Amino acid sequence: MFYILIMHQVNLNSIDLNLLPPLDALLRLRHVTHAAAEVGLSQPAMSRALGRLRAALDDPLLVKGQSGFVLTPRALALAPLVAAALAQTKAVFQPIEFDPTKAVRSIRMAATDTYAVLLGPPIIARLSQEAPSITLQMIPVSRLLPQQLEDGSADFAVALATTPLRAGARSMPLAGDRLAVVLSRRHPMAQRDWTMTDYGRYKHATVSIFGDGQSEMDSLLADAGITRTIGFRSPHFTAALAVVAASNMVTTISEAFARSLSAHFDLVIKPAPFAAAELPIVLVWSQVRDHDPLHIWFRRIVSETCAVVFGSVR
């Protein structure tokens, strides 16, 4: 004859989980008054809790012996289970500890090569000192970025404050940059002020991040009745500087970025001749990771880095 043991699922909705701390104290201390004091209950309240536990577990749990209460076999078996359950429950509500010196993580930050060049090296210098096992991965900016931030395939993005954000995105101001006109030191205009009219006189090296050729610059020039000729287009700002350095083309890009490479490419940097030249930079992330200790720590690292990198930008 075969016997089939049927295990009934316990319905937690029918159980008062507030009884776990009294149960743990009773099983460890084997004394109603002492257990009551430990969990902050009165002695009568603890006696009522013991009565409810006995009913729920269908076992007396504590039985009076000659020198005090004695645990029943069921209580002895429950003691380690209750202690473990309480420890795990407490862990659920404990704040997650984050130690950058021990963390092993990869941070993916979307940025153009402008900000990869400006921010990558100093951030890596900080990480090598403070978080040697955290890796920074710069990824391209794409039209999929809002989804990437949401699903976690990108942790952060460096963007302009004017960039439209999807609902649920968070942002933090980082620094103020501005557009600048950049030319080779051998350019005919190198020793003269640059004007709006000059945009129509020389070919331009432009940057199209998404490859669509669209530019707010052309809208500004069109409003002034000026059309420029594009001689080179690339998704990379560094490539635009390299082309300008080797030709009589001109480009209009981040002043901070141009200054960081001006000596290498022997460039001249001039103020952009229009009012809308400010580039307010922000860090963007998803609300999903807003409270991640790693993210909170890294946001501070980026903010402090930007204060140093862009502090001298006028």
Over 50: is that where the pLDDT of 5 sits?
no
**Same-domain status, 199 and 263:** yes
Instruction: Tell me the three state secondary structure of residue 260.
Output: helix
Q: Is 144 inside a domain boundary?
A: yes
Q: What is the pLDDT of residues 75-126, one digit of tens each?
A: 999 999 999 988 888 888 877 788 999 999 999 999 999 999 999 999 999 9
Q: Is 6 inside a domain boundary?
A: no
> Which is it for the CA torsion 256, 261, 266, 267, positive or negative?
negative
- Between CA 166 and CA 148 the distance in angstroms is 12
Q: What is the pLDDT of residues 181-197, one digit of tens each?
A: 999 999 999 999 999 99
Q: Is 4 inside a domain boundary?
A: no
Q: Is 186 inside a domain boundary?
A: yes
**Same-domain status, 215 and 273:** yes
Range of the domain at 224: 177-278
**Same-domain status, 80 and 133:** no
**Same-domain status, 150 and 297:** yes
Q: Is 1 inside a domain boundary?
A: no
Q: How many domains does the chain fold into?
A: 3
- Between CA 178 and CA 313 the distance in angstroms is 8
Q: What percentage of the chain exceeds 90 in pLDDT?
A: 72
Question: 135-170 b/e with 16+ CB inside 10 Å = b?
Answer: ebebbebeeebbebbbeeebbbbbbeeeeeeeeebb
**Same-domain status, 296 and 272:** no
Final residue in a domain of this structure, among 30, 63, 93: 93
Over 70: is that where the pLDDT of 61 sits?
yes
**Same-domain status, 289 and 154:** yes
Over 90: is that where the pLDDT of 244 sits?
yes
Q: What is the pLDDT of residues 21-57, one digit of tens each?
A: 999 999 999 999 999 999 999 999 999 999 999 998 9
Predicted pLDDT of residue 311: 79
**Same-domain status, 254 and 192:** yes
Q: What is the pLDDT of residues 275-287, one digit of tens each?
A: 778 999 999 999 9
Final residue in a domain of this structure, among 34, 68, 93: 93
Indicate the pairing of strand 169-184 with strand 251-254: antiparallel
User: What angle in degrees, to the nearest 10, is found between the helix axes of 255-265 and 113-130?
Assistant: 90
- The CATH number of the domain holding residue 221 is 3.40.190.10
